[in-house]
């Protein structure tokens, strides 16, 4: 199956440094693709290049099988987007703002009322946007992205500024879009926990480079689980195993080993048994997705 959206060696250089370097994204039809990375990793720049807001230094963007450079208007007419913070004219009402998008995209009236209903802004549609709360502006931004019911929806950190209830609501909305409207969704975030619950595929970017792309399952299997062993004499076991070149970490009542093969586990068990150290537990500890993400991006404080 051909991807709805793909980039080839996409790069953007500002001055002497690459903000985005050789990114190859590929988003398939009906997917919710989570684009993950810490702040400043190059997510927004990549999305802006996909929308033609920023020109790539190198590389190409292909959407719906067409080259962005030559088919910008066609691609944009089937794409909805919300990049960084929402666009709005503050002196106009929410509805008037929607009307502007409606005019520019030549849409029927019912699209506007439908989109406002989806984000539950219809009661506030006659209020000036300057008087909206941050969350309401964000909802308006989402409504503007949705109003054409596009084939491809690109949302950059869409839950910014929303309260927890709003985050849950928007998450449910995004999850329903592929089935309800046949949309393909590309959504970026710096929070794995947010993406984890809705995405079918993820791409991870850090310092402008793609580190991983694939399903969440594949991401989970990327790093081998840790092995935890509990013995009757952990200190002694630590010493003995040290002689064989193993260096476990003392972790409470457990000795923890990073990335062991099955043979190594068996070997360790044999050593302990022959050294007459009673083995009480051998456990596999699956890594949490969050820590896989943090290992990859090498940032403890992605906030």
Q: Does 149 bind another protein (CB under 8 A)?
A: no
Helix (H, G, I), strand (E, B) or coil at 77: helix
Helix (H, G, I), strand (E, B) or coil at 112: helix
Q: Does 77 bind another protein (CB under 8 A)?
A: yes
Supply the minimum distance, in Å, between the C-beta of residue 139 and another protein: 15
CA distance 297 to 287: 15
Per CB under 8 A, the segment of 19-27, 98-106, 218-226, 242-250 that binds another protein is 98-106
Return the number of the residue (87 or 275) whose C-beta is nearest another protein: 87
CA distance 175 to 162: 17
Among 62, 79, 184, 231, binds another protein (CB under 8 A): 79
What is the Cβ-side half-sphere exposure of residue 196, based on CA atoms within 13 angstroms?
A: 14
Q: Does 91 bind another protein (CB under 8 A)?
A: yes
CA distance 34 to 27: 10
Among 29, 58, 84, 169, binds another protein (CB under 8 A): 84
Supply the minimum distance, in Å, between the C-beta of residue 140 and another protein: 11
Q: Does 147 bind another protein (CB under 8 A)?
A: no
User: E strands of 64-151, at which residues?
Assistant: 66-67, 79-82
Region of 52 please: left (phi>0), alpha (psi -120 to 50) or beta.
Answer: left
Q: Does 90 bind another protein (CB under 8 A)?
A: yes
Residues in 44-63 at the binding interface with another protein, rule: CB under 8 A: 48, 51-55
Among 39, 65, 66, 74, binds another protein (CB under 8 A): 74
Among 6, 11, 46, 81, binds another protein (CB under 8 A): 81
| Torsion (CA) 120, 121, 124, 129 in degrees, nearest 10 | 150
Supply the minimum distance, in Å, between the C-beta of residue 227 and another protein: 49
Per CB under 8 A, the segment of 89-97, 196-204, 226-234, 289-297 that binds another protein is 89-97
Q: Map tokens 């005019």 to a residue.
A: 103
Handedness of CA 39, 45, 48, 49 (dihedral sign): negative
CA distance 287 to 224: 8
Please say whether the beta carbons of 38 and 194 come within 8 A.
no
Supply the minimum distance, in Å, between the C-beta of residue 182 and another protein: 19
Among 58, 96, 114, 122, binds another protein (CB under 8 A): 96
Helix (H, G, I), strand (E, B) or coil at 274: helix
Supply the minimum distance, in Å, between the C-beta of residue 197 and another protein: 27
Which residues sit at the interface with another protein, rule CB under 8 A?
Answer: 48, 51-55, 73-74, 76-77, 79, 81, 83-92, 96, 99-101, 103-106, 144
């Amino acid at each position: 199956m051909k991807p709805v959206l793909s980039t080839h060696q996409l790069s953007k250089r500002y001055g002497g440094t690459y903000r985005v370097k050789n990114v190859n994204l590929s988003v398939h039809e009906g997917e919710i693709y989570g684009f993950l990375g810490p702040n400043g990793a190059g997510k927004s720049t990549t999305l802006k290049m996909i929308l033609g807001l920023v020109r790539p230094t190198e590389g190409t963007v292909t959407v719906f099988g067409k080259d962005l450079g030559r088919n910008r208007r066609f691609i944009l007419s089937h794409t909805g987007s919300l990049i960084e913070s929402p666009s709005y004219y503050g002196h106009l009402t929410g509805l008037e703002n929607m009307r502007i998008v409606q005019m520019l995209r030549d849409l029927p009236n019912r699209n506007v009322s439908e989109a406002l209903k989806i984000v539950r802004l219809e009661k506030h549609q006659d209020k000036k946007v300057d008087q909206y709360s941050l969350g309401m502006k964000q909802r308006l931004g989402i409504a503007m992205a949705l109003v054409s019911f596009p084939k491809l929806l690109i949302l950059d950190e869409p839950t910014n500024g929303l309260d927890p209830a709003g985050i849950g609501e928007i998450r449910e909305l995004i999850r329903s879009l592929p089935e309800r409207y046949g949309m393909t969704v590309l959504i970026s975030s710096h929070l794995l926990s947010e993406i984890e619950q809705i995405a079918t595929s993820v791409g991870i970017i850090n310092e402008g480079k793609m580190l991983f792309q694939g399903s969440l399952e594949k991401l989970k299997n990327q790093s081998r689980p840790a092995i935890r062993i509990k013995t009757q004499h952990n200190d002694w076991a630590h010493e003995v195993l040290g002689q064989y070149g193993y260096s476990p970490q003392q972790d409470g009542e457990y000795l923890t080993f990073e990335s062991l093969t099955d043979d190594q586990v068996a070997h360790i068990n044999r050593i302990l048994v022959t050294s007459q150290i009673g083995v009480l537990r051998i456990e596999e500890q699956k890594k949490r997705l969050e820590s896989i993400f943090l290992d990859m991006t090498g940032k403890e404080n992605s906030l």
